[in-house]
Structure 1
Amino acid sequence: MQAMTVRPGSAGTLRVDDMGEPRPGPDDLLVDGLAVGVCGTDKEIVSGRYGWAPAGRDRLVIGHESLGRVTEAPPGSSFHTGDLVVGVVRRPDPVPCRACARGEFDMCRNGRYTERGIKEIDGYGAQRWCVEADYAITIDERLADVGVLMEPTTVVAKAWEQVWRIGQRAYFEPERALITGAGPVGLLAAMLSVQRGLDTHVLDRVTDGPKPGIVAALGATYHHDDIDTVAARLQPDVVIEATGAGPVVFGAIANTSTYGIVCLTGVSAAGRGLKIDAGAVNRELVLENDAVVGSVNANLRHYRQAADALARADKDWLAGLITRRVPLHRAADAFTAEPGDVKVIVTLDGSD
């Protein structure tokens, strides 16, 4: 069996290794891997800036955006041979903290959680893998070609849940949403916005390539002007921020409607300075009852929400997000950006 591995903390160590076959425990599924998605976190791990190997080892199997097919399932479980599944990324911390003890492990309070393919547990970037039945989610068979989009969809399912919960502090009937960033997370956030019936707008800096067409096919409006111009004109009720770029973040915060909500999902690079009028930002947040919230990761509830959202989506539209499929033996190619990339995946089943 082959798998993508790296030595966390060391750049240039990505390789495809021969490994022993996984041995499922009594409560585990054995799964044939079909594909894994490549995202910014994976690229940070490969570049040596992030990631932790399992205890007692120096290499980590990467890949947290999973898709596979069950080959063995525990007796009495709800899973069957042939089921299309994804594996949940995060596991609760062992203490557990009060959030993890209640199943809200995406909100872990002490940082002792672990994550498949990221933090101390091998990931799903292997031809075969095991996953606890309690941390696997079945998805619609019609999504076999695009189900690898499940994990990034969970991220925005949680983001939208956070927005709705905050909005319910008072009267809340949003009409217009602005999504900043037209990468996979931004586009999937826009998809959920459209499914909620909102007038949806997407802002990205590119003017060519597939992104404008993908947004148009969704029934949303694409913009490429600066954030202050676009947001000031739109006055969105909700902003899902998916770039992590400082000027975009603060431009969005400064230009929502009254009682606006900005949900930050993009992770900013450290060390970049930005001069802002902190007093003006504070004044607007207070006087307009605005809210800004950060959101990361997902729990089991969000995986189920994502599975429902993908099942309702246009499959052809989802397929348009996957712009490059790289076979496992050429996995390194997936970590080098090419013009027109939106979502790049590594196929694990021998398909090109």
Structure 2
Amino acid sequence: MCEVNLVKALGVTPGVKDSLELLEMDEPAESEGEVLVETLAVGLCGTDKEIVSAQYGEAPPGAKHLVLGHENLGRVVSAPEGSGLAEGDLVVGIVRRPDPVPCEACAAGQWDMCRNGKYTEHGIKGLNGFARERFRADADALVKLDRGLERIGVLLEPTTIVAKAWQHAEAIGKRAFYDPKVAVVTGAGPVGLLAALLGVQRGLDVHVYDRVTDGPKPDLVRDLGATYHTDSLTDSGVRADVLIECTGVPSVVMETITEHALDAITCLTGVSSIGKTLPVDVGAANREAVLGNDVVFGSVNANRSHYEAAAAALAKADADWLARLITRRVPLADFGNAFEHEKNDVKVVLDVKEA
């Protein structure tokens, strides 16, 4: 009788609040992909906490559990010849996969712009995530990283979010004369700090806004060469050419839409909670947008080009600065501690592979 190998995995029962548990699952089947990967680490973010609180999350067809973990880093165990990957390679699994139809956008490799909503996402929608000891994927669903990025490679997925934001902002800027000098980032969480990093790499005067007055965030921003603000965008008087909104806080969102330079481009990456209302002078906002040639757009997820751009950005960044974004590393077995917020948390990472 064949012995069945099992892997440890961190999962939830979708729709059941606080159902997070450490599971034992069958070894990933070859039908899931040609490349076998051992998971080194997964990063945790607000999306994971929202799934744990049963706000959303969808298990694979026929499965009871959804394995969490979309931010990931792994090492290739085995890969077929001609795949472009080999044993020992450092890789990151791409989170969103194209819909099976596929729609025009997915067929063009732009599954982040899926037109029919039938895409799947590892650890979020219809596909198990990477918070398991081993997983399988096809080579085209993996991004190879320089082995020197092992300490901070788990930051790749959140970096793809802002790599896309900057790429799209620059594409919009090319509609006409475009020579940005000042950038604003709202929120000094991991995504905001990475957005600021990419702004600094572009030679812009970057201003980051957050309510926190102590802890690691102010120093991380200053050491990046950017300016840290605890006042509001309105009160600071800064008028930016490009704004990347990373909080989802309605009042902050409205500021980024209305407080900026002429011809400004605002990208919204933070997802707001619903049910909160603000008194807004829509006429004034419209007047300013029209007379100022403003653009406001939303951005979510990323395709392979954004993963590659993010990998290039991380490779050229100060590795020690990036490592400081990871403020806590927690073993998989102690997952409960990882989901408890601590005062100075920036990015919390689960170490899936034991040292």
TM-score range, shorter chain: over 0.9
Partner of residue 100, structure 1: 106
1:204-250 deviation line (CA, Å, top 9, x unaligned): 011011100000110111000023112xx111001000000011011
Contact 2:96 2:122 in 1 (8 A): yes
Is residue 183 from structure 1 mapped to residue 193 from structure 2 by the alignment? no
Match of 1:239 in 2: 243
User: Whole-Å Cα distance in 1 between the matches of residues 50 and 172 of structure 2?
Assistant: 31
Partner of 1:325 in structure 2?
329
Q: Where does the alignment leave 5 or more consecutive residues of structure 2 unmatched?
A: 1-6
Give the SS at the match of 2:26: coil
Which position in structure 1 is the counterpart of 2:271? 267
TM-score if structure 2 supplies the norm length? Answer: 0.97
Q: Please give the root-mean-square deviation of Cα atoms over the aligned residues, in Å.
A: 0.9
Residues 5, 287 of structure 1: alpha-carbon distance in 2 compared, 3 angstrom cutoff: same
Residue 340 (str. 1) matches residue 344 (str. 2):
yes
Q: Note the C-alpha offset of 1:318.
A: 0.3
For residues 1-352 of structure 1, what are the structure 2 equivalents within 5 Å? 1-25=7-31, 28-230=34-236, 233-351=237-355
Q: What does the per-residue CA deviation read over 1:135-179, in whole Å, with 9 as the maximum and x for residues that have no partner?
A: 100111111011000000000000000100100000101000000
The aligned amino acid for 2:289 is: L
Partner SS for 1:339: coil
Task: Give the whole-Å Cα distance in 2 for the aligned partners of 1:47 and 1:178.
Answer: 31
Tell me how far apart the structure 2 counterparts of residues 192 and 19 of structure 1 sit (CA, whole Å).
39
Runs of 4+, deviation exceeding 3 Å: none
The one-letter amino acid of 2:244's match is I
Cα distance in 2 for residues equivalent to 1:229 and 1:132: 50
Aligned length: 349
Whole-angstrom CA distance in 2 between matches of 1:325 and 1:24: 31
2: distance between equivalents of 1:88 and 1:24? 18
- Native 8 Å contact 2:32 2:137 kept in 1: no
Contact 1:67 1:148 in 2 (8 A): yes
CA deviation map 1:270-296 (0-9, x unaligned)? 001111111000000000101000000
CA–CA distance in structure 2, aligned partners of residues 239 and 332 of structure 1: 35
CA distance in 1: counterparts of 2:338 and 2:114, whole angstroms: 31
SS at match of 1:68: strand
Percent identity over the alignment?
Answer: 56
Cα deviation, 1:89-138, whole Å, max 9, x if unaligned, reads 00111111111111110000110000011001111001111111111001
Letter in 2 for 1:274: L
2-side partners of 1:245 and 1:23: how far apart? 42
Q: CA–CA distance in 2 between the matches of 1:108 and 1:23?
A: 27
CA deviation profile, 1:49-100 (whole Å, cap 9, x unmatched):
1100011112111100010000100221100100000000001111111111
